[in-house]
């Protein structure tokens, strides 16, 4: 046990001068003002920000590895790279694949969920629109199949947390209801749905909009489509890839002003190239070229995931969207954790896991604690 002192503690209500005591894997106590004596010792963090560990609910890879590799060591490379950068909870994100490959990938990731390394598994597809497939192989897309989905859930042993689908596809609403009945979050994305079709998905139980704007019917004043449906619905958490490539800051600011930090979830949608230099990589079965940090499919030029880690999205929200630091941090921790019902993540509270990130005033990560243990910081 030790106590982090001389901190500016980030809570849902704001920033308060205070301290946080770690007891084993969990937060033993937290308070304002001077810290009480701790015989186990203290760590002076020098007046820096003490925030919840960040939570990325939409990520596919990093450090040269992908969750689609179906390799525990390579999946852990993604986890450890992100953890060292302050992302203490993340889902293992998969893309459209054959039924056999999906089952194999989910089975491998379930092992890391069992051990607590991953917070869950995320299925982006295969039940998405071929017209809005983005960096998914259109040959692998198919209509929603509840029987297949239940086989995937069985392979995941209760760890599948979210699935993205296009609500205009045959059987989509049935799959939304099936997902919700199993405790899985249904998300709307990669879709050509109308406003009414999207609303029907939300009424059926869908509660997340996957990377708003990207690969969905565009906003139009007479055909508002899924973007307006998501922004207008208080039940829906809205993902935003705030990397300066996927969404113009003006459009991102519209989302921020409309939904606020309690419904905005900053995500990366990051791929294997994250943390590496320019070059050629793969996303699923597709080839991707990264140039200047911007990832695009080599054959179509479509944007293919991002190459940022979540703290960069937070900094961009403050710098480019005029978000308050506490709101930007909430959008990268408490809000996505609540959207996925991750009970121990996203908030600094007594009894929760001691997942903590220490940041400078410019929101640069200076130290990370995962379940009470200091994480070795890499580059």
Is it the case that residue 378 has pLDDT exceeding 50?
Answer: yes
* Single pTM value for the model: 0.95
The residue ranges of every structural domain in the chain are 2-51+349-374, 54-339
- Count the helices and strands in the chain (H runs, E runs): 10, 21
Q: How confident is the model over 141-169, as a mean pLDDT?
A: 98
Please report the pLDDT score of residue 64 as a whole number. Answer: 92
Q: What's the topology of domain 54-339?
A: TIM Barrel (3.20.20)
Which pLDDT score is estimated for 1?
Answer: 67
The catalytic residue positions are 269
Confidence of residue 108 (pLDDT cuts 50, 70, 90): very high
- Residue 246, annotated as binding a ligand: no
Write down the pLDDT at residue 379. 47
Report the pLDDT averaged over residues 242-256: 96
What CATH code is assigned to 2-51+349-374? 2.30.40.10
Name which residue leads in pLDDT, 285 or 221: 221
Q: Is 60 among the annotated ligand-binding positions?
A: no
Instruction: Determine the Cα–Cα distance for residues 279 and 293; give it in Å rounded to an integer.
Output: 9
* pLDDT digits 0-9 by tens, 278-306: 888 877 777 888 888 888 888 888 888 89
Of 378 and 96, the structure prediction assigns the larger pLDDT to: 96
One DSSP character per residue, 95-125 reads ----HHHHHHHHHHHHHHHHTTSSSEEEEE-
pLDDT mean across residues, the chain: 95
Cis peptide before 126 (omega within 30 of 0): yes
At residue 244, φ and ψ (nearest 5 deg) are 80, 0
Could you read off the pLDDT of 168-185 as tens digits, one per residue? 999 999 999 999 999 999
């Amino acid at each position: 046990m030790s106590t982090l002192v001389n901190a500016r503690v980030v809570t849902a209500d704001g920033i308060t001068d205070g301290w946080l005591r770690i007891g084993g894997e969990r937060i033993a106590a937290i308070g304002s003002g001077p810290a009480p004596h701790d015989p186990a010792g203290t760590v002076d963090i020098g007046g820096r920000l003490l925030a919840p560990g960040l939570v990325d609910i939409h990520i596919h890879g990093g450090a040269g590895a992908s969750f689609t590799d179906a390799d525990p060591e390579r999946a852990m490379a993604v986890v450890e790279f992100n953890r060292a950068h302050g992302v203490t909870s993340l889902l293992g994100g998969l893309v459209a694949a054959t039924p056999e490959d999906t089952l194999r990938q989910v089975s491998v990731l379930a092992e890391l969920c069992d051990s607590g390394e991953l917070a869950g598994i995320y299925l982006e597809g295969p039940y998405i629109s071929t017209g809005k497939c983005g960096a998914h192989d259109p040959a692998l897309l198919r209509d929603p199949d509840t029987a297949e989905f239940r086989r995937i859930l069985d392979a995941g042993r209760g760890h599948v947390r979210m699935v993205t689908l296009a609500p205009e596809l045959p059987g989509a609403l049935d799959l939304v209801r099936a997902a919700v009945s199993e405790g899985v979050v249904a998300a709307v994305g990669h879709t050509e749905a109308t406003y009414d079709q999207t609303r029907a998905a939300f009424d059926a139980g869908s509660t997340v909009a996957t990377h708003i704007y990207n690969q969905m019917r565009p906003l139009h004043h007479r055909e508002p489509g899924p973007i307006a449906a998501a922004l207008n619905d208080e039940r829906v958490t809205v993902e935003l890839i705030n990397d300066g490539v996927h969404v113009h800051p003006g459009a991102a600011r519209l989302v921020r002003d409309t939904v606020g930090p309690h419904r905005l979830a900053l995500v990366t949608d990051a791929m294997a190239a994250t943390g590496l230099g320019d070059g050629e990589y793969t996303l699923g079965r597709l080839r991707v070229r990264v140039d200047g940090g911007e990832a695009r499919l080599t054959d179509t030029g479509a944007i293919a995931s991002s190459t940022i880690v979540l703290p960069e999205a937070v900094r961009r929200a403050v710098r480019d969207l005029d978000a308050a630091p506490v709101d930007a941090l909430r959008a990268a921790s408490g809000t996505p954790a609540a959207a996925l019902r991750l009970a121990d993540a996203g908030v600094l509270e007594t009894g929760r896991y001691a997942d903590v990130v220490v940041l400078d005033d410019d929101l640069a990560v200076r130290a990370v604690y995962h379940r009470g243990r200091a994480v070795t910081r890499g580059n």
